[in-house]
Structures are given as structure tokens and as C-alpha cells.
Structure 1
Amino acid sequence: MPTTVLAAGDHFVLPRLLTQELRDAVPEPAALDIRELQLPWPHTPFGKVAEVDEASGSEDDIIEALRGKQICVTQMAPLTERILTACPDLELFCVSRGGPVNANLDAATRHGVAVCYAPGRNAVATAEHTLALILAAARGIGDVHADLKQGAWRGDYYDYANCGIEIDGSTIGLVGFGAIGSRVARVLAAMGATILVHDPYVRPEAVRGLAQLVTLEELLDRSRIVSLHARVTDETRGMIGRAQIASMPRGAVLVNCARGALLDYDAVCDALNDGHLGGAGFDVYPDEPVPAGSRLLSAPGVVLTPHIAGASREVAHKAARIVAAEVARYLRGEPLTHCANPEAVRTRR
């Protein structure tokens, strides 16, 4: 009997991409019986579904689609206590995201459902987007672009006081040195920057020859450009506030493609308005979508993108490929590479 699979894709990680990667990973034609489900994200924003966050699709729709299925591969479908109770055949739930935030891990473990995820899927895309924002913010591209679109050719942008800064010769501080931060460091170093890193979980030998490990205080004090790459934890939430921004050199640039909760955006707007910060680039925010009245929308020198740093076609393919590989491992009885609750793995009959 074939293994029954639900490929619950959306408009980014398409159902057909999930299906194709599953077929490539499990080439035996009769091994899988795959049904596809189209979820509405991002045309409809994700949100909280019962007890899980950042999910797309209703519990009723997922229950109907999952009945009789042993495996689900998805990016945004919720996995809740109610869904698990209603779908006792489910054994494996693969989330093609950096973390399984749309899955109730405790409930999945109790029901014997292994939950996998796809770390690193968007590291390259996010690193490249970070570099784009650094360059745009350092050279004031946001404001000059907006002026030119409105028909204003402003010569005063060539005034010394209004000119941007170069990467070559600048000291750039990276808060976090994981898969994304380390990629950003390599490119910026190749462009001639001196790189400082603050990351309490990184050993000095990991940055040797590329960057210098320093305290957060030293990084902020010395860096003309600061880019955030930390995860949000109790330790890092709000780590860059009014005092930290004030300690940065006047005219410095601040970029965040990590998480909005790391940063006090009101303090950023004040610093942009009074000229202490020379520019900023953001892809993440405390409230998403950004509210119509947000101060960020009118602050000078800021470049904004709508949480799309991880949005590349390559990411969609990588995400599908990573979860398909987990399905193949599971069917072969091999250990799962990225399992959030390995104690729940069932012995395949």
C-alpha cells in the first residue's frame, strides 16, 4: 500500500513544488499517494490558529484534507491539538520553514507525530537582502528614489552633509553570527569592511581571519553600520533600545532583517529625525503589516521592505527539497535530520 501524503502548499512554496520534490526524493511511482491542498498565504495574511502561531488555513479545512493521511508536508498549515485528535493516522508533519511555529509540539509528541522543519532554507536569500538594505541605507537610496519618482531632481544630495558612506574602509558590526550573519560578514569583508561580531554563542576560532568578537557595547561604539542577526529570546528581546542607539556614532546606519522584537522602533525614529542615525533599513517590524500611521513611514533616511528578505524562488525550492528529504528518510527508517521532537518518531510498520 502506498504511503498517503498531503502536500499543503501556498502561493510561495507551491503545492506542485512539494509534490515534485517528493517524487524526486521517493522515486518509486507507487510509494506515495499524494493529495495537494492550496493554502491562501500570502494573499491572506497568516495568523494565530487555535493555539499555534503564524499559520494559514482553518482547522476544519486541514482536518478534512488530512483524514487518512500518514504524512503532511507544508509551510503554513496549522497542527493543533484538535487536528491531531481528528487525524489519528498522521505520523509525520514536515514544516518547510526555519522553525515549526505553526505546530503544537507538545501535542504532536503526545500523539506520536514527529515534526520536522527546514533550518537554513532562506539563509542565502536573507543575507543577500540584508546586503541590499545595507547598501541602500548607507547611500540614502530610499529618499532619493522617492524624490525622483515624484519628479524632483535634487542637486543638494551631492552636498557633503547629505552624502552617504562607503562600505570599503567602514567598521561594520553584526549582532549574531549564524548562517545569515556569517554570510553577510564574508561579503562585507570582501568589499573592504572591518567586521565586528557580537554573539555569545560563537567561539573566537569561528571568526578568526574574518571578524573580531567584541561585546555589544564595543560593537555599537565602533560601528558605522550595525546589522541585526540574532534570534528573539528573553535575553535578546528589546536588546537595541534608546541607550544603545545613542551609543552609536552620529550618522551611523542600522539594519534589521532578523525580528522586529529585537529593536525599539520609536527610538529609531527619534534618532533618524534628529540626525543621530544617518540611515536605516528594515524588513521586519513590531507589528506586521506596518500600521498606516507608523512613524517609520515618514522617517527620513529609512528603506523599508515588507518582510520579504527570505522570498526568493530558490528558497521555495530549497524548502520543498528539505522536507521531501525528511520524508524519504522516514520511509527508509533512517534518523530524521531536522526533527523538533525526535522522541515522537514511530517505528514504521
Structure 2
Amino acid sequence: MATPLNKLRILFCGVEFPGAVNHTQQFLKHYPHISIGVWPREEVADKIADYDMCVVRMMRLDSAVIARATSLKLIVQFGVGLEGVDIEAATRAGIKVAKIPSAGTGNALSCAEHSIYLILSLLRYQKEMAETFEAKRLGGPVGETLYGKTVLILGYGNIGKELAIRLRPFGVKILAIKRSWTKKVNPLNGYRDGIDNGDQRIDEKGGIECLLEFASRADIIVTCCVLNHETAGIVNRTFLREMKKGARLVNVARGGLLDYEAVKEALASGQLGGLAMDVAWSEPFDPSDPILQYPNVLITPHVAGVTELSYSNMGKIIAESAIQLSTGDPMPALEFVN
């Protein structure tokens, strides 16, 4: 007689990003002992005690919420960002915290592609094109090419590397900032960090000490670094003042990397020549916010990593990890942080 499987309940925090639930359910359809609950963020605190595994998404899990998670064994992010989770509180409560690595899942690749889309949208004046079309005019606006531009990748991690690969065929010069350039082989692709080992993804690399000097030379700056106490507000008044006048800024990482007031001032003065964001300072972001009224500002609804490729892979990882948690097996696909 087969040993009955332990029941496991997964809580998806928030109703945003519905594809995450749909793809996870698809991989769990033959595992009736695992159930999924989806609750709006404002109701999670009252429901979390009923669940064994929590998929955090955009929810902020502070110590007060975690204290109510009396059955919880695992908190996992459907992606890479864990800045909303009080990891110390979870550790004290005996709850493991993990994320899905962006490399190898299609997440980093998808974010890199979306960065290209945002760059080209700024260079081709997407808002003005829409207005021209509505007015039934042809031949305008006159756009710019990506060819010949200098691009600064701020945060040369998994997304940054995928972005550099895709930028290279456009004929650009690529500068990259990374906190540490330790040469460690990436087992997923065999590359080393930097430009050694025949890898010609970037033209110049530097640490944080090169930030302002690189910004002064870049036509386009893409922020794709993690948000932490060192990077919060890294695009501030000093950064914007020192960058090349009229340069464009693209953010596919976290809204908190940008100083809101500094960005607004730089747009008003023309020092910042354009802004494209997939993330904002608060989400969902107010469509009537003054920054969005500029013709050279574009925003997308946090969809850089939301592709069939990445969501299918990440949904499979969440499902497999839930199965392994229910049986007490290791969860090798997750990256644990405590």
C-alpha cells in the first residue's frame, strides 16, 4: 500500500501577475495533495496561518505578518527580488527563504529583451509616433539609431550579461559597472565575468568608483542592479548632473534605484533626455503622476520578465519545489538566502 503524501498548501500573495499562478497550477495538476490559494495583499496577514509555503511576489512580508505564519515552512519569490521579505524574522521563526535564480530560467533573457524594446522606444519617440499616427501624418518623428551609441549597464549581473549579448549586434560601445569583477566561471554558460576568456561582451568595465565617469560618457544608461542599502537612490542628483546631457535612462530593476525628485528635476531641465521604466517607485504606479506626462517618458506595467518562456520555467520550479517540500526532499532549483 502506497504511503499517503503529506498535504501541502501554497499561498500566492496578491492577485497581480496571474500568469505565475496559472503556470504553477499547470505543473501541479497531477498532484491533488497540493493546493493553491490566492489572496489580495491586504488579506494575506489573516490567511497566512493556513499555509505551508508562501510565494511572496509583490507582498511585503514584515515581522508582524511572519509572526502569524504558524504553519509556514518556506517563503519563495517568483523571481529574484527579496527586498520585501524580513529575512531575519523568517529565520528566527524557522522559515526558509529562497528565490528563483534568473540565470537559466529565461527571466534574465526576457528582461534583457525588454530593455532593448524600451531603448528603441525612446530612440524612436514612441509617444510622438502615436500622436502622429492619430493626426494622420506620415514621415515623423525623425528617430535616432541605437547604432553608434554608448550604453552603460549599471549592474552587470545575469540581466546585464544577457543585455550585453543582445546589444553587441547593434554596433554600440558597452560600458559596465559591477561591484566586484572576481573571475568565476558561470556553470550555466561557461563564461567568466568581464572580457577575458574570449568573451567580448563589453568594451570597458569598472567598479562603483567609475560610476560618474562612465555616466558622463553614456548616451543610454540601463539600471539592472539589485536594490539594497548601497544601491537605493543610486541615480540621484549627483549622478544625473554628471551624466551626458540628454542621455536616456532605462530602468528594468527596481523603482527605488532612482531618486524620484532628482529624476523629475532632470526631466524638467532637459538634462535627462528620456526615461523608460518597467518598474516604479510604488506599484501599481499612478497614471496621472507628473513624471509620466512628459513626452519622452515611457512606462510598462512590470512585464520585463513576464514571458511564456520565463513563467513556464519558474512555474515549474515552484511546482517541483512544492512537491519536494511535501516529501521532505531537497529543493535544488531554489537559491536559499538563510
The two structures share one fold, judged by TM-score above 0.5: yes
CA spacing shift, 1:15–1:7, aligned 2, 3 Å:
farther
- CA distance in structure 2 between the aligned counterparts of 1:134 and 1:112, rounded to whole angstroms: 44
Q: Which residue of 2 aligns with 1:290?
A: 285
Secondary structure (helix, strand or coil) at the match of 1:195 reads: strand
- CA distance in structure 2 between the aligned counterparts of 1:288 and 1:90, rounded to whole angstroms: 26
Q: Is the 8 A contact 1:7 1:15 kept in 2?
A: no
CA shift, 1:176, in A, is 0.6
Q: Which amino acid aligns with 2:274?
A: G
Equivalent residue for 1:224, pick from 219, 222, 234: 219
CA spacing shift, 1:255–1:335, aligned 2, 3 Å:
closer
CA shift, 1:195, in A, is 0.4
Q: Which residue of 2 aligns with 1:314?
A: 309
Q: Which amino acid aligns with 1:257?
A: V
Q: Is the 8 A contact 2:247 2:274 kept in 1?
A: yes
Q: Is the 8 A contact 1:73 1:96 kept in 2?
A: no
Q: Which residue of 2 aligns with 1:210?
A: 201
CA spacing shift, 1:36–1:239, aligned 2, 3 Å:
closer
Secondary structure (helix, strand or coil) at the match of 1:311 reads: coil
Secondary structure (helix, strand or coil) at the match of 1:236 reads: coil
Q: Which amino acid aligns with 2:154?
A: V
CA spacing shift, 1:292–1:96, aligned 2, 3 Å:
closer
- CA distance in structure 2 between the aligned counterparts of 1:241 and 1:87, rounded to whole angstroms: 38
CA shift, 1:139, in A, is 1.8
Identity of aligned residues (%): 27
Q: Is the 8 A contact 1:266 1:295 kept in 2?
A: no
CA spacing shift, 1:170–1:339, aligned 2, 3 Å:
same
Q: Which residue of 2 aligns with 1:18?
A: 24
CA spacing shift, 1:237–1:144, aligned 2, 3 Å:
same
- CA distance in structure 1 between the aligned counterparts of 2:113 and 2:34, rounded to whole angstroms: 34
Q: Which residue of 1 aligns with 2:46?
A: 60
CA shift, 1:198, in A, is 1.1
Q: Which residue of 2 aligns with 1:74?
A: 55
Q: Is the 8 A contact 2:109 2:163 kept in 1?
A: no
CA shift, 1:131, in A, is 1.0
Q: Answer with 231-240 or 91-100: which moved more.
A: 91-100
TM-score (norm 2): 0.78
Q: Which residue of 1 aligns with 2:122?
A: 137
CA spacing shift, 1:147–1:325, aligned 2, 3 Å:
same
Q: Is the 8 A contact 1:8 1:15 kept in 2?
A: no
Q: Which amino acid aligns with 2:219?
A: R
Q: Which amino acid aligns with 1:340?
A: V
Q: Which residue of 2 aligns with 1:201?
A: 180
CA shift, 1:154, in A, is 6.7
Equivalent residue for 1:271, pick from 266, 286, 289: 266
TM-score (norm 1): 0.76
CA spacing shift, 1:327–1:185, aligned 2, 3 Å:
same
Secondary structure (helix, strand or coil) at the match of 2:286 reads: coil
Secondary structure (helix, strand or coil) at the match of 1:239 reads: coil
CA spacing shift, 1:156–1:57, aligned 2, 3 Å:
same
CA spacing shift, 1:106–1:221, aligned 2, 3 Å:
closer
- CA distance in structure 2 between the aligned counterparts of 1:255 and 1:196, rounded to whole angstroms: 15
Secondary structure (helix, strand or coil) at the match of 2:298 reads: strand
CA shift, 1:239, in A, is 1.6
CA shift, 1:267, in A, is 3.3
Secondary structure (helix, strand or coil) at the match of 1:213 reads: strand
Q: Which residue of 2 aligns with 1:44?
A: none
CA shift, 1:134, in A, is 0.6
CA spacing shift, 1:301–1:200, aligned 2, 3 Å:
same
Q: Answer with 188-197 or 230-239: which moved more.
A: 230-239
- CA distance in structure 2 between the aligned counterparts of 1:264 and 1:79, rounded to whole angstroms: 24
- CA distance in structure 2 between the aligned counterparts of 1:136 and 1:15, rounded to whole angstroms: 30
1:195-225 per-position Cα deviation (integer Å, ceiling 9, x unaligned): 0001122347612022111311221111111
- CA distance in structure 1 between the aligned counterparts of 2:273 and 2:64, rounded to whole angstroms: 50
Q: Which amino acid aligns with 2:149?
A: S
- CA distance in structure 2 between the aligned counterparts of 1:39 and 1:147, rounded to whole angstroms: 43
Q: Is the 8 A contact 2:223 2:253 kept in 1?
A: yes
- CA distance in structure 1 between the aligned counterparts of 2:88 and 2:118, rounded to whole angstroms: 38
CA shift, 1:187, in A, is 0.6
Equivalent residue for 1:252, pick from 233, 247, 252: 247
CA shift, 1:13, in A, is 4.0
Q: Is the 8 A contact 2:10 2:54 kept in 1?
A: yes
CA spacing shift, 1:190–1:275, aligned 2, 3 Å:
same
Secondary structure (helix, strand or coil) at the match of 2:144 reads: coil
Q: Is the 8 A contact 2:115 2:252 kept in 1?
A: yes
Q: Which residue of 1 aligns with 2:188?
A: none
Equivalent residue for 2:336, pick from 339, 342, 345: 339
1:71-117 per-position Cα deviation (integer Å, ceiling 9, x unaligned): 42534477676776666554344442324456543343334332332
What is the aligned-residue RMSD (CA, Å)? 3.0
Secondary structure (helix, strand or coil) at the match of 2:310 reads: helix
- CA distance in structure 1 between the aligned counterparts of 2:235 and 2:68, rounded to whole angstroms: 44
